[in-house]
A and B are shown apart, each in its own frame.
Chain A
């Protein structure tokens, strides 16, 4: 058990390191790296323009930059954001709570709604219900995130509602398909034949079977929620890390982006590892 835990920890750390390096490399070699809109300012002298271009000189060699970043990060120094001129640590501390709250509430709402709808459809088996939920989730999937965010503003609804509407159809469709697939499993047919109630079958024979996939979906939905939070925060003006991520991506702010990416990697890895841990079946001792 200890070995297993240690192995997972090592794997998670590796994922974090590789994720950080990969993200930094992508940012560094993306077009527009080092470009600054001040380069179009006609007031600036050529010396000032040269200084602006050289501002990111230490970031050009990605390997040494990354190693330097890691050694500083160990001491709590996460660098200074080039675009916002503020310590990254301060920026993240201010905003990470906002995003995690937003994501947490949205995920709770989306999962609750999806689970309820799937359970109701399983228990009542009304074609109208099935059709209705298909049309609803289909329509929600077709609405752009911007439109949902705008709708939430128009209706004075909280931002997490827009995010929940983005997550809900995806979660619902997977859950719905997973539970529907178990309908043909031998043990379920046997249970039905024995006259067990729909509720009993659902919670005792269906849910345990799809538990692993559902937990995997839960882990994955953390990553989906964080990605979806970016447009929602940017559009609703919510000062979370999603908004920060978009601003820093457009500014190619490497010090800030590398931290954000590592934060996202850590969240996703943690969520997926947690899901795996929970999904592990205990085998009885022989």
Chain B
């Protein structure tokens, strides 16, 4: 009898402790990753998989925002800024056991820079015409030479996951903490701990602590929240403000507001000369006074309070305060001042007539703001801007479109008047925004692909961006880019609205999580995360 009780107790203990020590982290991806090829990553779910499985030479520490060595134990950039030399760690293997060496880095770079691949990560390295040459100096040493100097060259390697040049299972052999063990497209991806992962913690224990990660595909935020409250998932990497507040009421210890994110929301007017707009509207949008007046009429504090429930702050420019080095603290957010708005408009001949604003030729000031449908925050912002501008007699029509229709309008047909969108910034270095600020570039949203700069201030921005790109000293580059930010604040080609906060949810069962504003907010230190279900039960 006693023996039976003891056995029963043992079995029960095993079952209970097995449950308590379950090391499978679960969270949702908002959509199915489009690719598992690390070179071709362009969407957030694919980026998450790359982050969890890819080994990189250098890693940007999302908390300190400093570069730290990973597979490379040291690196050096030549004086001309064209060559970077890595000294690799020795004795590292891929997840399938094949050894890692400089040949793999060479292979990865050659794949990445293949012009036929059109890899987004590879395009970030294109500094000029000419080939990128990777030279293996030793099994643990490699030099990569670029045709022209690249500003912030080393930080770009945070996105380069090294692939094996000789493994028989090339697609699945990885150097990161996890590898893809199972995938059911549209349903889930199951990652298992890389048995050959090179990193160890301070006590010598092999990382990662977690055994597995289960990533289910779920695009609906309501359902994500429901599953989190039921403990079906342990992380929500990005929460909307409404959901944050809802969760905060029931589980305040599980929500985290990490402060402003790198992302921004902005409005801009179509200044493309060939756009199918009436000439008088084109004139409005080209006027600095008009743009700054509209900016002054928008109440950013209300946007932060109403739409983001206080989990946002008025934006000051293209760089968020979360970007510790590049943020220009001297810039101030545009003040909400309808009198100032009317004064600026009056300078351009606009006047109020029976509560409606008219231009000097008597045209009533009316325009449409297009934004993407399905984004509740943006739709709410557009509606609030509609009311704000009514106060100065401007009629705004809000048109929500599905994303492809919107992209077609703002990038191809230019059949729009004003657009409200957000910029998702994953990069700290403003060099990543060259294609936004250069007037000849395609992402120069308000008037892309200019043959010559349409305005003197755009010509000045071109000069400053090229200057910062060719300098290798970050402080000098910052001076140039600060000037760019000041011109943008003055001319308002983008009317920056808010920087929303990085809102996340982390279950109490997760130990070691330290959410930050930079993606991936909750699992940037995935190797050090652990699960402790007992802790969560005690806390509840």
Contact = CB atoms under 8 A, between A and B. Distances in A.
Tell me whether A and B are bound partners. yes
Contacts, number: 107
Contacts of A237: 216-220, 223
Contact of A83 (B34, B409, B412): B34
A38 B120 contact: yes
B83 to A, nearest CB: 21
B32 interface: yes
Given A150-B222, A237-B218, A239-B186, A45 B123 contact: yes
B432 to A, nearest CB: 6
B368 to A, nearest CB: 15
Contacts of B124: 43
Interface string A23-64: 000000001111111111111111111011000000000000
Interface string A233-265: 011110100011001001110000000000000
Contacts of B118: 44-45, 47-48, 51-52
Secondary structure type dominating chain A contacts: helix
Given A43-B123, A52-B118, A237-B218, A91 B407 contact: no
Given A39-B411, A42-B443, A94 B186 contact: yes
Nearest to B31: A247
Contact of B185 (A33, A43, A94, A236): A94
B186 A47 contact: no
Interface in B397-451: 402-409, 411-412, 432-436, 441-443
A34 B407 CA distance: 10
A86 B411 contact: no
A244 B126 CA distance: 36
A43 B434 CA distance: 8
Nearest to B123: A45
A85 interface: yes
B467 interface: no
A62 B218 CA distance: 33
A32 B403 CA distance: 8
A32 B184 contact: no
Contacts of A205: none
* Listed residue (B219, B404, B409) with the most chain A CB atoms within 10 angstroms of its CB: B404
B34 A35 contact: no
A154 B409 CA distance: 39
A43 B403 CA distance: 19
Contacts of B31: 247
A251 B32 CA distance: 13
Contact of B35 (A33, A37, A85): A85
A94 B434 CA distance: 42
Interface string B262-295: 0000000000000000000000000000000000
A98 to B, nearest CB: 9
Given A42-B433, A47-B115, A234-B219, A84 B120 contact: no
Interface string B30-42: 0110110000001
Nearest to A36: B407
Given A42-B432, A83-B34, A234-B219, A35 B404 contact: yes
A75 B516 CA distance: 52
Interface residues of B, number: 43
A48 B123 contact: yes
* Listed residue (B186, B407, B409) with the most chain A CB atoms within 10 angstroms of its CB: B186
Contact of B34 (A40, A48, A85): A85
Given A38-B120, A44-B123, A52-B118, A250 B404 contact: yes
Contacts of A278: none
Given A42-B443, A46-B442, A244-B186, A153 B226 contact: yes
A89 interface: no
Contacts of B402: 32, 250
A42 B220 contact: no
B187 interface: yes
A43 B423 CA distance: 13
Contact of B432 (A43, A83, A95): A43
Interface string A59-89: 0000000000000000000000001111000
A80 to B, nearest CB: 13
A32 B120 contact: no
Contacts of B442: 39, 46, 49
B77 to A, nearest CB: 20
A54 to B, nearest CB: 10
A70 B507 CA distance: 51
Nearest to B226: A153
B405 A31 contact: yes
Given A86-B185, A150-B223, A42 B404 contact: no
A57 to B, nearest CB: 14
Contact of B403 (A37, A48, A91, A234): A37
Contacts of A235: 220, 223
A161 to B, nearest CB: 15
Given A239-B187, A244-B186, A252-B404, A48 B120 contact: yes
Nearest to B37: A85
A239 B126 CA distance: 39
A18 B445 CA distance: 41
Contacts of A95: 186
Contacts of B35: 85
Contacts of A36: 404, 407
A84 B404 contact: no
A60 B292 CA distance: 42
Contacts of B403: 32, 35, 37, 250
B320 to A, nearest CB: 15
B233 to A, nearest CB: 12
B36 to A, nearest CB: 10
B473 to A, nearest CB: 23
A188 to B, nearest CB: 49
B435 A42 contact: yes
A84 B185 contact: yes
Given A39-B411, A237-B218, A84 B123 contact: no
B415 to A, nearest CB: 9
Given A47-B115, A153-B226, A35 B408 contact: yes
Contact of A35 (B126, B219, B407): B407
Contact of A154 (B121, B226, B407, B433): B226
Given A237-B216, A237-B220, A239-B184, A42 B436 contact: yes
Interface in A82-116: 83-86, 91, 94-95
Given A49-B442, A86-B185, A239-B186, A39 B123 contact: no
B408 A31 contact: yes
Given A47-B118, A84-B32, A94-B185, A35 B411 contact: yes
Given A39-B411, A43-B123, A44-B120, 12 more contacts: A35-B412, A37-B43, A42-B443, A48-B118, A48-B123, A94-B184, A150-B222, A239-B186, A239-B187, A239-B217, A247-B31, A251-B404
7 contacts: A32-B408, A33-B404, A41-B120, A49-B442, A85-B35, A237-B217, A244-B186
Nearest first, the 6 A-B pairs at minimum CB distance are: A32-B404, A239-B186, A48-B118, A32-B405, A35-B407, A35-B404
